[in-house]
Amino acid sequence: MTVMNPYGHLEDLKSPNKIGTRDLSVYSLVQSSRLDHTPPLPKVFHGHFKLNHGPPSTSAGHPEEIKNLFPNLFGQPSVQLVPCDGPSYNEDRKLRVGVVLSGGQAPGGHNVIAGMFDYLQVHAPGSVLYGFKGGPAGIMRNKWVEITETLVYPFRNQGGFDIICSGRDKIETPEQFKQAEETVTALDLDGLVVIGGDDSNTNAALLAEYFRSRKLKTRVLGCPKTIDGDLKSKQVPISFGFDTACKLYSEMIGNIMVDARSTGKYYHFVRLMGRAASHITLECAFQTHPNVAIIGEEVHAQKLTLRQVTNSIADVVCKRAHLGKHFGVVLIPEGLIDFIPEIENLIAELNDLLATQGCDPQGHWKSKLKPACRALFNSLPHNIQEELLLERDPHGNVQVARIETEKMLISMVEAELFARQHEETFKGHFKGQAHFFGYEGRCGLPTNFDATYCYALGFAASALLHCGQTGLIASVSNLTAPASEWVVGGTALTELMDVERRRGKNKPVIKKAMVELDGAPFKKFASLRDAWAVEDSYISPGPIQFSGPTADDTCYTLKLEVGSL
């Protein structure tokens, strides 16, 4: 099958060396219409540009430890691309670049690759882009596919990561670093771009440091991806995928709200993805106005117990029952369980136990838990106990996506209301419906915002490699302005780093950006939630729009954070 590519050339999709190409005949009309959408670029890419270097950087925490771990990278400045009159670096240099998608899917990943590819075609013709297949394992095993226009075209502005697929492997042992060295040396790579979340960008920094210490020519850059929205800083205002995922979840929450109001008989408990931070829950709350939205960071700050969280939901149910309303919508962040200090302690003890000696099926390991943790563990429903013991992901994290907190809270609220019925403080009925909106949000067609942001990130990554940069994360800011005004640069990865205890050991990590309780988004939410609890001011945002007046809207969190709302 032949298709017309955006440069007006006919390309054969069935060429034998083009792996992973999709069959365009099965695309929906909406998917097809997105293929030829060309995202607008920041104006710095309309002409020549140069790098402006900022002041020396430090780290988010423990600077001495980070300096020891990254002697070659620590302190390097962040950079900004600014327009200039003529060439400021070797613009004729052809590059050999690798790219890898790492971790969970996030809408827009294909556009980062398309942006990298298009930059190289336009600004460094003759360059080669390799896509490592299946995540970081593809680097270690030297499994790649050459990214060509024919390969990339069917993925332009499309959801998913299937152009080269992703994986959660980590390059961490000396042998694995050696394998990565062998691959980049065999391919003679000038640069490698790791598109990932906090853990994957930590890996990018470790690789950048290692390659530099080995005096390899390969530079390594990161790119901020995660629907969770917890990889951000002043210079990296948002991770890609957050905007699309929140809009997809909000559409479904809005539908559920209308259902709840129509039948008047169910409380819908919706657990929303976001392994650690509650950014998705907060954003969806702005978009839909639920009766309750629990923000994990607040639970943690107030040191609430599971019982107190349960009671706070039961209080809203009682208030609404008093008004004759026996329905409602409760949003719960996926990471809630980790935020409840008593459960956090339990998880920390379980992590150490699992990492050092494992848990025997007879349950003798429980005697190693401290008494308070043991009592809490024994008090949890059996399914939650099992879910807490599930295998950790390759980064040592509890797989919170598999812990059904919404079901646990429904049964605890039910029990609490039953007790209140006996005390005659609750007169009404309560029936919970559990939902988990997670994977549904990770591969949708990227919103205009994510499509444009990712395309710019791809351009930024290739441009930074073209200028010989390493150890940076591509960063694009001023995002509430039109795309032509966006500011493009790179932030030192070590500037985002701290030291954390993982799997019983201290490790360098990119500091997760949590919901800040003194930040504008949370403060705004706190000022509105009491009214949302009792009034049904539900909003049904409807499906994502690609044209029309709201198509280019950015999310509330971003607008509130930058003060444009």
Tell me which of 227, 293, 465, 493 binds ligand FBP, using CB under 6 A. 227
Q: Give which of 192, 220, 186 is closest to 206, Cα–Cα.
A: 220
**Neighbouring C-beta atoms of residue 35, cutoff 10 Å:** 17
Percent of residues in the chain assigned helix, strand, coil, to nearest 5: 45, 15, 40
Q: Is 197 in the site for ligand FBP (CB under 6 A)?
A: yes
Helices 306-322, 405-422: crossing angle, 10 deg rounding:
60
Is 485 annotated among the ligand-binding residues? no
The active-site residue out of 118, 190, 199, 228 is: 228
Residue 366, annotated as binding a ligand: no
- Going by their DSSP bridges, the two strands 292-293 and 191-196 should be labelled as unpaired
What's the min distance (Å) between Cβ of 499 and ligand FBP?
A: 20
The reply to whether 273 sits in an annotated binding site is: yes
Among 330, 340, 401, 409, binds ligand FBP (CB under 6 A): 401
Residue 529: partners with Cβ closer than 8 Å, 6 or more residues away: 285, 292, 293
The residue (of 260 and 443) whose beta carbon lies closer to ligand FBP is 443
3-class secondary structure, 462: helix
Separation of CA 288 from chain center: 21
Residue 225 or 232: which CB sits closer to ligand FBP? 225
**What's the min distance (Å) between Cβ of 142 and ligand FBP?**
23
Q: How far is the CB of 272 from ligand FBP (least distance, A)?
A: 9
| Displacement of CA 229 from its chain's centroid (Å) | 5
Helix (H) or strand (E) holding 338: helix 336-339
Beta-bridge partner residues of 12: 2
Chain residues 314-343 in contact with ligand FBP, contact rule CB under 6 A:
334
**Is 228 a residue of the active site?**
yes
Interface residues for ligand FBP in 9-38 (CB under 6 A)? none
Is 252 annotated to bind a ligand? Reply is no
Identity of the residue, 276 or 292, whose beta carbon is nearer to ligand FBP in the bound complex: 276
* Cα dihedral 98, 100, 106, 110 in deg (nearest 10): 40
Q: Does residue 296 touch ligand FBP according to CB under 6 A?
A: no
229 is in an annotated binding site: no
Q: Of 75 and 108, which has the nearer Cβ to ligand FBP?
A: 108
Shortest CA distance to 564 belongs to which of 441, 477, 490? Answer: 477
Which residues 72-111 are close enough to bind ligand FBP by CB under 6 A?
Answer: 103-104, 106
The identity of residue 366, as a single letter, is: K
Stretch 228-287 residues interacting with ligand FBP (CB under 6 A): 228, 273-275
Burial class (CB in 10 A: 0-12, 13-18, 19+), 158: buried
Q: Which of residues 147-176 bind ligand FBP (CB under 6 A)?
A: 168
Residue 403 Cβ, how far from ligand FBP at the closest point, in Å? Answer: 10
Q: Does 396 bind ligand FBP (CB under 6 A)?
A: no
- CA pair distance 248, 444, nearest whole angstrom: 8
- Alpha-carbon distance of 495 to 510, in angstroms, equals 9
Is there binding between residue 395 and ligand FBP (CB under 6 A)? Answer: no
- Give catalytic residues, as residue numbers: 228
Q: Residues within the annotated binding site?
A: 104, 198, 226-228, 265-266, 273-275, 334, 439-442
Binding site for ligand FBP (CB under 6 A): 103-104, 106, 168, 197, 225-228, 273-275, 334, 393, 400-401, 442
Q: Residues within the annotated binding site for Mg(2+)?
A: 198
